[in-house]
């Protein structure tokens, strides 16, 4: 019998045939020691573990033959196999840095052969469910498979990977009440702030969901700050953006064809940001397939601005950027333009020497764009760039400020 007790009280409890069971094999590449052993050896270890779990004796020695053998013997013994593969792409993503790209390609080839075992195994498998944060093209990784169904952008699954507003308020009611009492704010204010910080993810441009990790950590810690970014920094993405001198990713217009441009030898920035969760679908034209991508919420937007500003302004410590922007905001509110000028000049002065030596105007425009975009979290701020200068418009509750920045070829650059 299926494990019905686990789902007691949920919809599925009375809407599933619990007499039907299938054997399960669950691969999680996050748990494999491929960095120490090599990917082939790590896969062999994992296959051996599952063979032991299902009391199957393996006679083959290489990872492809063992995979096929365990599917054949397990399906014959207990019925068609359900195969779950978590983080299918991690052995590739962990080696995307330039000095590790050869190992990345080796791992890609190993995975291609591993997944290729599934091609002629339909009669052995009930279901295959694969998760990962990237979408490598079928040509590069799944060239042997033609029956994969990518559900990422399907409306039917739009609420699968997060909490909807209704789910948050229904299932976390006690936690929300505790937060209002601890933080001494109304429920309405709490929900409004949670929405700004942790909601905003969408895969159809209509259904919005909360980031589960950030939401659960907020409910536990009862404080608004960046929870998701604290699990790891997007160093590879930052380097990619720096190499392209491209920082204005908000409201990027794409379509499926552009998002499918994702391969080791062709890592386009926007698909990379989308697949890794830093951008999400803000709107979608169902007639043309055109989508607008943007940062999902305050948590991601602020954190990306800080990382990017620190990188461009040569501040690797990443400790003062948020405070600097808040100081800039206070200076605008106080109408202290001399302080505004000093803060901006201080940020520009921190640019690396090569920015001046090589006259890399893009770095200056990039920093200006990021600073005023980050400022827009607090007040209405926009940046308009064109050849030779960048204009910024800042609107407070009482005043409108217009700035023009021009690129000078020495360190006397000033606002």
Residues 85-100: tens digit of each pLDDT? 999 999 998 998 878 8
- Write down the mean pLDDT value for the chain: 86
Q: Supply the range of the domain harboring residue 103.
A: 4-149
For residue 231, the 8-state DSSP code is G
Distance CA 46, CA 224 (A): 40
Q: Residues 6 or more apart from 91 whose CB is under 8 A from it?
A: 29, 32, 34, 39, 107, 110, 111
Residue 107, pLDDT > 60, answer yes
Q: Residues 6 or more apart from 169 whose CB is under 8 A from it?
A: 176, 191
**Do 12 and 123 fall within a single domain?**
yes
Q: Residues 6 or more apart from 153 whose CB is under 8 A from it?
A: 203, 204, 256, 281
Region of 9 on the Ramachandran plot (φ > 0 left; ψ -120 to 50 alpha; else beta): left
H-helix or E-strand spanning residue 75: helix 63-78
Residue 414 lies in a domain: no
Contact between 75 and 81 (Cβ < 8 Å): yes
Find, among 40, 41, 50, the residue nearest to 83 by Cα. 50
Strands 252-254 and 291-294: antiparallel
Structure-block tokens of residue 364 = 């200056």
Confidence bin at 369 (pLDDT 50/70/90): confident
Where is mean pLDDT largest: 174-183, 332-341, 342-351, 401-410? 174-183
In order of 237, 272, 353, 360, 415, the CA distances from 363 in angstroms are 16, 21, 11, 6, 15
Q: Residues 6 or more apart from 194 whose CB is under 8 A from it?
A: 168, 210, 215, 218
pLDDT of residue 414: 45
What is the number of residues in the chain? 415
What angle do helix axes 63-78 and 101-116 make, rounded to 10 degrees? 30
Confidence bin at 379 (pLDDT 50/70/90): low
pLDDT of residue 410: 57
**Do 308 and 175 fall within a single domain?**
yes
Residue 412 lies in a domain: no
In order of 68, 247, 275, 310, the CA distances from 244 in angstroms are 44, 8, 19, 16
Residue 415 lies in a domain: no
**Do 132 and 220 fall within a single domain?**
no
**Do 159 and 307 fall within a single domain?**
yes
| CATH of residue 115 | 3.40.50
Confidence bin at 53 (pLDDT 50/70/90): very high
Neighbour count for residue 128 (Cβ, 10 Å): 19
Split into its structural domains, the chain has a count of 3
pLDDT of residue 377: 66
Confidence bin at 401 (pLDDT 50/70/90): confident
Residue 413 lies in a domain: no
Distance of CA 408 to the CA centre of its chain: 37
pLDDT of residue 353: 63
For residue 79, the 8-state DSSP code is S
pLDDT of residue 413: 46
Which neighbouring-strand residues pair with 390? 385, 405
Structure-block tokens of residue 14 = 């009375």
pLDDT of residue 389: 53
- Among the three residues 274, 289, 312, which one is the final residue of a domain in this structure? 312
**Do 159 and 305 fall within a single domain?**
yes
**Do 204 and 279 fall within a single domain?**
yes
pLDDT of residue 55: 95
Which pTM was predicted?
0.84
Q: Residues 6 or more apart from 39 whose CB is under 8 A from it?
A: 32, 91, 106, 107, 110, 111
Confidence bin at 388 (pLDDT 50/70/90): very low
Q: What is the pLDDT of residues 118-167, one digit of tens each?
A: 988 999 999 999 998 877 655 566 766 667 888 999 999 999 999 999 99
Q: Provide mean pLDDT across the span 246-272.
A: 83
Please report, rounded to a whole number, the percentage of residues in the chain having pLDDT higher than 90: 51
Which neighbouring-strand residues pair with 200? none
Distance CA 311, CA 315 (A): 6
């Amino acid at each position: 019998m299926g494990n019905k007790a686990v789902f007691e009280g949920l919809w599925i409890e009375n809407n599933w045939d619990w007499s039907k069971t299938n054997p399960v094999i669950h691969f999680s590449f996050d748990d494999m020691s491929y960095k120490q052993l090599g990917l082939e050896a790590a896969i062999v270890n994992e296959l051996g573990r599952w063979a032991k779990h299902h009391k199957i004796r393996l006679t083959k020695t290489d990872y492809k033959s063992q995979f096929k053998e365990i599917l054949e013997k397990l399906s014959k013994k207990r019925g068609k196999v359900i195969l779950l593969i978590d983080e299918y792409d991690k052995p590739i993503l962990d080696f995307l840095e330039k000095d590790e790209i050869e190992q990345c390609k080796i791992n890609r080839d190993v995975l291609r052969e591993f997944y290729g075992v599934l091609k002629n195994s339909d009669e052995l498998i009930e279901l295959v469910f694969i998760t990962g944060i990237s979408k490598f093209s079928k040509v590069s990784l799944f060239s042997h498979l033609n029956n994969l169904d990518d559900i990422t952008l399907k409306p039917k699954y739009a609420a699968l990977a997060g909490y909807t507003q209704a789910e948050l308020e229904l299932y976390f009611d006690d936690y929300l009440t505790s937060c209002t009492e601890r933080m001494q704010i109304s429920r309405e204010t709490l929900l409004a702030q949670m929405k700004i910080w942790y909601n905003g993810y969408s895969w159809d441009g209509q259904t919005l969901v909360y980031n589960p990790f950030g939401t659960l950590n907020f409910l536990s810690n009862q404080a608004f700050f960046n929870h998701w970014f604290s699990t790891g920094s997007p160093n590879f993405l930052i380097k990619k953006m720096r190499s392209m001198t491209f920082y204005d990713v908000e409201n990027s217009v794409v379509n499926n064809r552009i998002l499918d441009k994702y391969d080791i030898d062709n890592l386009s920035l926007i698909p990379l940001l989308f697949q890794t969760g830093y951008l999400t679908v803000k709107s979608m034209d169902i007639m043309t397939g055109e989508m607008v991508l943007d940062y999902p919420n305050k948590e991601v937007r602020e954190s990306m601005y800080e990382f990017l500003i620190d990188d461009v302004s040569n501040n690797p410590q990443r400790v003062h950027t948020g405070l600097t922007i808040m100081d800039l905001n206070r200076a605008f509110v106080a109408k202290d333009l001399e302080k505004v000028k000093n803060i901006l000049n201080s940020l520009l002065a921190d640019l690396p020497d090569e920015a001046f030596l090589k006259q890399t105007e893009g770095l200056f425009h990039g920093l200006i764009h990021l600073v005023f975009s980050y400022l827009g979290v607090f007040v209405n701020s926009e940046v308009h760039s064109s050849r030779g200068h960048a204009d910024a418009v800042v609107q407070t509750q009482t005043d409108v400020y217009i700035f023009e920045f021009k690129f000078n070829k020495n360190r006397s650059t000033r606002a």
